[in-house]
Amino acid sequence: MPLLEIDAVGRSYGGVHAVQDVSFNVKAGEWVGVIGPNGAGKSTLFNILGGQVKASSGHVRLAGRDVTRLAPHRRYRAGISRSFQISSLFPDLTVREHLTLACRQNHRWSMVRGWRGDRVLAARVDELLDTWDLGRNDGVELPANMSYGAQRRLELAIAVSAQPSLLLLDEPNVGLTASECGDLRDRVAELGPETAVIFVAHDMDMVMGWSDRILVMHQGQLVADDTPEAIARNAFVEEVYLGAEPIVA
Amino acid sequence: MTTVFTQLRRKVPVLVLLIGALELPFLLSSQQESLLTRALIFAMMAASLDLAYGQAGLYSLGHAALAGVGGYTAWLLMVRYGHESFWYLIVAAALASALASLVFALVSLRARGLYFILVTLALGQMVSNLAQQWDFLKTAQAEAVTGIYIPSLGLGEDWHSGTLYQFVLVLTALGLFTIQRIIGSPLGLAFRGSRDNEVRMEALGYDVWRYRVVAIVLSGTLSGVCGALFAFQSGLISPTNIGVATSGLLVLMAIIGGSGTRYGAFIGGILVTLLQFYANQWSMERAPMIIGGLFIVTALLLRFRPKVAGALRSLTRGRVSHAVA
C-alpha cells in the first residue's frame, strides 16, 4: 500500500482552477520532486497536502487513512510535516524556543513544569542546535538577528524535528549554499528509509540529484510523472520550462 | 549547584520587595492602604488580561465584564443567599468567571483580528447592560449593588484596611506566581507561538483554537477573583465598574507597563491606578482628560514598543540561557 495517495484532487477559486484533477501515489521512503513554472499550482498542491488549503474535490490518504478534511494540526499528528517557501518563523521566540515547540510531540498542557526544566526535551533541542549549526549564543537569538541562511536552517530543522512519515519541503534550497544543500539532503535522509519526502524546487540539478521520481505541473495539472532520466528526455517538459506553447494535457 | 544559586539570587529581590510591601501598613494612613489595595487588585486584573492579550495575542475589550461576573457572583451569594465564607465565595466567583470566559471564548473566537476585538467589546457591554437592566442584580433599585463586606477566612481575623492590604498583597503574589508559572510552562510557550504565527503552530501540530480558549478562560478566571476582591474591598459594585471604560483602562495598564513582558502589565496597573486616584484628587473634572491624554501618548509611542521590548527580552533571555546552561 502506498504511504500517500492523492486521488483526483482539485482546488478552485471562483472559476480559476489552481489545481485540477491531480492524482499520484508516493511510497514509503520515496523522494519525489515537484517542478513546474511559476503559477503551475505547486504551492497550492503543497498547501492541500499540508492542510493549509482545503481541497475542493478529490481525496488525500495517508497510510490508508483519509486525511482530506483533517486540520493541519491533525495532519501533523498523523505524520505529515512541512517547511514553508518563505521562512515561517516566530518573530518573538528564540531559536531554542522554536525547537522546543517543534520537539514537544505530546502537546500536553502542562502548566506546572517549566519547559526549561525538561531535561529530555532540552537534550533533544541541544542536539538539533548542534546538528543544524544553530547553537550560536546557546540558541537565544531571535530570527530577526539571524542571517537568511540560518533562518532557512531553522525553518527546516523545525520541520524535520518531528521525524514525520511524510515530509513536505517547499523550495528547501533557497538561501542555502551548495554544501549546506548537500548537508540538508543527508540530514533528511537520516530520518530513516521509511520517511517519504516531497519537495518543490526550481534548481534542476538538485531535483535530478535528489528525486526517485519527478512530478511536473503546469496550469494546475499534473502533466508528467516519471523517473528523473525519463523527465530529462521529455520534450513536453522541456517545452513547459522554455515557455513554449501552452500545454493541454 | 550554580543554577540553584543563580535562581535563588534572582528570587531574593522579589522576596525582599514582598516583605517590604507587607510592612507598609506601619508607615501608611488607612486611606493610603486602601488605595494600594485597590491598585494591587487592578494591577492583578491587568496582569490577568495580559495573559490573553500579551502572551496569546488576544486583544479583548470586554475583560472588565469577566471581573464583573466574579464581583456580582460574590455579591449574589453573600447578600442574596447569606454565604459568609471567603473561600466559598472566591471559588464560586472563579468558577462563574471561568464559565463566562468560556462563553466569551466560544463566541469571540469565531471572529479574527479587529472583528474579534469588536465581539469582545459587544460581549462586555452586554454583561454590563445586563447588570444595569436586570432587577435581580440590583439592591433597592439603585444601579450599584451594595451590602458587600469582607467575608470571613474562618481564622478569627480582624479586618481593617491594613490587614486587608496585606491579605490582598499575598493573594496578588500568589496570582503573579501562577501567571509566571503559566508563562514559563509549555502552555505559555504555546500561547506565544499561537500569538506570533498561527499557520506555523498548526503545521507543528498545535490546535491553536484550543490554546486560545484556554488562554481566555485562565485569564478570565483570574480576573473574576480580582472582581470579587474589588467588591469585598469597595463594599459595592456597579455596571460602570465593569463596562468598556474599565476594559479600556485595563488595556492601557497592560500597554503602559509593557504587554507581553513578565511584570509589565502588573506595574502598569499600579501606576495607572495611582495616577487616576491622584488626578481625581487634583481635579475631578480634569482627571478624565489626563487619563485620555495618557491613552493618546501611549498609542503614539506604541510604534517604539517592539524595539524596547526586543531589547528587554534580549537582556533577560541572555541571563536565562546562562542559568539553564
Q: What is the pLDDT of residues B77-131, one digit of tens each?
A: 999 999 999 999 999 999 999 999 999 999 999 999 899 999 999 999 999 999 9
Q: How far is the alpha carbon of B231 from chain A, nearest alpha carbon, in Å? A: 29
Q: For chain A, which ranges sit under pLDDT 50?
A: 246-249
Q: Looking at chain B, which residue has its C-alpha nearest residue A51?
A: B203
* pLDDT (0 to 100) of residue A105: 64
**Domain coverage including residue A22:** 4-89+163-242
DSSP E strands in A116-236: the ranges are 166-170, 196-200, 213-218, 221-226
Count interface pairs A-B at CB distance under 8 A: 116
CA atoms within 13 A on the CB side of B264: 22
How close, in Å, is residue B308 to chain A by CA atoms?
13
Question: Would you say residue A153 lies in a domain?
Answer: no
* Whole-number pLDDT of residue B305: 64
> Which residue do the cell numbers 508528467 mark?
A224
% helix / strand / coil in chain B, to the nearest 5?
80, 0, 20
How far does B119 lie from chain A, in Å, by closest CA? 25
According to the model, what pLDDT value does residue A50 have? 93
As a whole number of angstroms, the distance between CA B115 and CA B96 comes to: 26
- Residue B178, min C-alpha distance to chain A (Å): 9
The three cell numbers of residue A126 are 541541544
Q: Residue A52's domain is classified under what CATH number?
A: 3.40.50.300
Q: Edge-to-edge, what's the strand order for the sheet holding A31-35?
A: A80-82, A166-170, A196-200, A31-35, A213-218, A221-226
User: Is there a domain that residue A154 lies in?
Assistant: no
Q: How far apart are CA B8 and CA A234, in angstroms?
A: 69
- Closest residue in A to B190 (Cα–Cα): A101
Contact B45, B200 (CB under 8 A): no
Q: What is the pLDDT along chain B (325 residues), one digit of tens a residue?
A: 556 667 677 778 888 888 888 888 888 888 999 999 999 999 999 999 999 999 999 999 999 999 999 999 999 999 999 999 999 999 999 999 999 999 999 999 999 989 999 999 999 999 999 999 888 888 777 788 888 999 999 888 888 888 999 999 999 999 999 999 899 888 999 999 999 999 999 999 999 999 999 999 999 999 999 999 999 999 999 999 999 999 999 999 998 888 888 888 999 999 999 999 999 988 888 888 888 888 888 878 776 665 555 555 555 554 433 333 2
User: Which is it for the CA torsion B295, B300, B303, B305, positive or negative?
Assistant: negative
With CA atoms as reference, the chain A residue closest to B318 would be A140
A108 → closest Cβ in B184, B186, B322: B186
CB contact under 8 Å between A101 and B181, yes or no, is: no
Tally of domains within chain A: 1
Q: What is the pLDDT of residue B122?
A: 96
DSSP A106: S
Strands A166-170 and A80-82, bridge-based pairing: parallel
Contact B225, B97 (CB under 8 A): yes
Q: Which are the contacts of A125, defined by CB distance < 8 A and separation ≥ 6?
A: A96, A99, A100, A103, A139
Residue A189 included in any domain? yes
Domains, chain B, ordered by start? 2-249 (1.10.3470)
pLDDT in tens, B16-25: 888 888 888 8
On whether residue A214 sits in a domain, the answer given is: yes
Q: Are the beta carbons of B320 and A107 separated by less than 8 Å? A: no
Dihedral, B131, B112, A48, A4 alpha carbons, nearest 10: -40
User: Which residues from A are below 8 Å from B when comparing CB atoms?
Assistant: 50-52, 71-73, 76-77, 81-82, 84, 88-94, 96-97, 100-102, 104-105, 107-116, 118, 122, 137-140, 142, 144, 158, 162
Q: Does A99 reside within a domain?
A: no
Alpha-carbon distance values, B222 to A217, B94, B116, B166, B172 (Å): 54, 7, 21, 19, 10
> B239 with B75: CB under 8 angstroms?
no
- Kindly state the greatest CA–CA separation across chain A: 63
- Say yes or no for a CB contact (<8 Å) between A101 and B310: no
Question: What does the alpha-carbon distance between residue B230 and residue B122 come to, in Å, rounded to a whole number?
Answer: 23
Q: What is the per-residue pLDDT for A63?
A: 92
What residue in A sits closest to B200 (Cα-Cα)?
A: A88
- pLDDT for B296 equals 86
* Residue contact B205–A77, C-beta within 8 A: yes
CB nearest to A90's CB, from B197, B313, B314: B197
The reported pLDDT for the residue numbered A242 is 57
